[in-house]
Chain A
């Protein structure tokens, strides 16, 4: 009965290892939420941060994070869609394709601080974007592109080849098949990939410290002119994000309540990322049902 005993041992070990992972994750999230949540209040979310006095909030940082995220997704989605479609549908197995794949892999394993410093040298200094949302979102794009391209390529590849044949055999051109059959079928996967990557870049700090900057100047939420200096939509203003804010109050914060701010901000960050993650699943399912008419 050796096989049966070994099977039991293996099952036990696997369950044990999984519990360790789950335990670590839960205690981490639990710790952050328990220490942070009590200080998260309506006031905390909607007042501006203070540099020297206690009682500052995170409204600008929260908005900056979201705005940066949207801008960087706006830049990276079209590019990675193109790259993903190319790699999945058009790329032939030759040296060019493998060069592209290798570059993507290298890019995806770059430490984000390297991307941040690269962004600082090239975008902030060389192209004179200064510390700005634009520079930050381009840096985030560098971070995001490889992951997004991979997940889009994977989603497209997971569509059955039978569907391609069906499309082509109906007299659709290759592009019509991709556009009308393959992409809709891959869309839930693509969306999930986008939202998950959004969660990742939402919490990114290192790539932004030297690109989007560490200051959150006062801005007006009623000034809708994106070219105006004080407008909240101005992409050329420096913008400290939530993650950078957490880093900053912890390293050189001089506010008396730095502890509270950092733990409450962490809780907010975690909650937003959790929303992204659960939202990804929900939206992916919804879109699939909608597209496929299965009500």
Chain B
């Protein structure tokens, strides 16, 4: 297994308050890793360090090593927009641009400088297919993305990220705003996508983590409690605290 992202001793401060207390996590290529833990444990905060979305939050300072393909994510040579083209992100609330489905997916491409209409058409179709939403939108590519259901919007957002061809996709509770059927469709999409991409997903849904992830990291109050293969984690966790959380003793 090749490691694609390595982090070491990550500490994050909101002002003077330390929110992450030295977290070290490595992520393997073409695996789906789930970050679980109760609300406020820092899992989303950690996720947002990986594509430097925390840079936008005033008063945040970050320490520790972050490497993507052995290159320092936080070095001055790494431009945040280049980084984010390699590390895409899908959010909790579906947030398509208020444009047509086609323009949503094609947006990143135009900015990458791809002008050839045929090439863009092809990538849009491929991305929507990979995000498993093509069949539902193919007849309405020029309809406003916001007129689709939440689940469809979320998969359009995934397609939008895929079109830029990132190496890693971060998902921040991608199904928590969706109904069970839509959630299921998004989960199936992710299972297919991990053959091509590395996926890191924050979820508050333990069953979801158990169903689709290869590895699971359990976080609590800004600490990493346990990081293991998902099967091992759910059947016989090393830590008592993990077991208690997974069995619903707190949460």
Residues of A that sit less than 8 Å from B by CB? 160, 162-163, 165-173, 176, 180-181, 184-185, 291-295
Q: Which residue of A lies closest to B103 (CB)?
A: A293
Q: Which residue of A lies closest to B86 (CB)?
A: A171
Q: Which residue of A lies closest to B58 (CB)?
A: A92
Is B111 interfacial (CB 8 A cutoff)? yes
Per-position 1/0 for B170-213, Cβ under 8 A of A: 00000000000000000000000000000000000000000000
Given known A-B contacts A170-B164, A172-B81, A176-B111, A165 and B91 have beta carbons under 8 A apart: yes
The 5 closest A-B CB pairs, nearest first, are A293-B100, A171-B85, A294-B144, A169-B89, A162-B95
Whether the Cβ atoms of A166 and B95 lie closer than 8 Å is yes
Instruction: Please classify the interface of chain A as helix (H, G, I), strand (E, B), loop, or mixed, using the class held by over half of its residues.
Output: helix
Instruction: Please classify the interface of chain B as helix (H, G, I), strand (E, B), loop, or mixed, using the class held by over half of its residues.
Output: helix
Cross-interface CB contact of A293 among B85, B91, B144, B161, cutoff 8 Å: B144
Whether the Cβ atoms of A169 and B88 lie closer than 8 Å is yes
- Complex CA gap A291/B100 in Å reads 9
Number of A-B residue pairs with CB-CB distance less than 8 Å in the complex they form: 82
Given known A-B contacts A180-B111, A293-B99, A294-B143, A171 and B81 have beta carbons under 8 A apart: yes
Whether the Cβ atoms of B98 and A168 lie closer than 8 Å is no
Q: Can you list 10 A-B pairs, Cβ within 8 angstroms, ordered by A?
A: A165-B89, A168-B84, A170-B88, A170-B107, A170-B164, A171-B85, A180-B111, A292-B99, A292-B144, A294-B144
Q: Which residues of A contact B53 (CB under 8 A)?
A: 165, 168-169
Q: Which residues of A contact B98 (CB under 8 A)?
A: 163, 184-185, 291-292
- Complex CA gap A132/B82 in Å reads 52
Whether the Cβ atoms of A172 and B103 lie closer than 8 Å is no
Is B56 interfacial (CB 8 A cutoff)? yes
- Complex CA gap A176/B98 in Å reads 16
Cross-interface CB contact of A181 among B97, B142, B164, cutoff 8 Å: B97
Cross-interface CB contact of A180 among B85, B89, B96, B107, cutoff 8 Å: B107
- Complex CA gap A168/B88 in Å reads 10
Tell me the residues in window 151-172 of chain B with beta carbons closer than 8 Å to chain A beta carbons.
Answer: 157, 160-161, 164
Cross-interface CB contact of A160 among B84, B85, B95, B164, cutoff 8 Å: B95
Given known A-B contacts A168-B53, A169-B53, A171-B164, A292 and B146 have beta carbons under 8 A apart: yes
Whether the Cβ atoms of A169 and B84 lie closer than 8 Å is yes
Whether the Cβ atoms of A171 and B99 lie closer than 8 Å is no
- Complex CA gap A143/B95 in Å reads 38
Is B51 interfacial (CB 8 A cutoff)? yes
Closest Cβ of chain A to B133, distance in Å, is: 17
Q: Which residue of B lies closest to A294 (CB)?
A: B144
Per-position 1/0 for B70-104, Cβ under 8 A of A: 00000000001111110011010101111110110
Closest Cβ of chain B to A28, distance in Å, is: 38
- Complex CA gap A171/B82 in Å reads 6
Closest Cβ of chain A to B100, distance in Å, is: 3
Closest Cβ of chain A to B97, distance in Å, is: 6
Is B237 interfacial (CB 8 A cutoff)? no
Whether the Cβ atoms of A171 and B97 lie closer than 8 Å is no
Closest Cβ of chain A to B168, distance in Å, is: 12
Q: Which residues of A contact B143 (CB under 8 A)?
A: 293-295
Is B240 interfacial (CB 8 A cutoff)? no
Whether the Cβ atoms of B160 and A163 lie closer than 8 Å is no
Q: Which residues of A contact B111 (CB under 8 A)?
A: 170-172, 176, 180
Q: Which residue of B lies closest to A172 (CB)?
A: B111
Is B150 interfacial (CB 8 A cutoff)? no
- Complex CA gap A167/B98 in Å reads 12
Q: Which residues of A contact B164 (CB under 8 A)?
A: 170-171
Count chain B CB atoms within 10 A of each CB in A163, A166, A168 and give the residue with the most.
A166
Q: Which residue of B lies closest to A176 (CB)?
A: B111
Count chain A CB atoms within 10 A of each CB in B88, B97, B144, B146 and give the residue with the most.
B97
Q: Which residue of A lies closest to B142 (CB)?
A: A293
Q: Which residue of B lies closest to A173 (CB)?
A: B81
Q: Which residues of B contact A166 (CB under 8 A)?
A: 91, 95-97, 157, 160
Is B247 interfacial (CB 8 A cutoff)? no
Q: Which residues of B contact A291 (CB under 8 A)?
A: 98-99
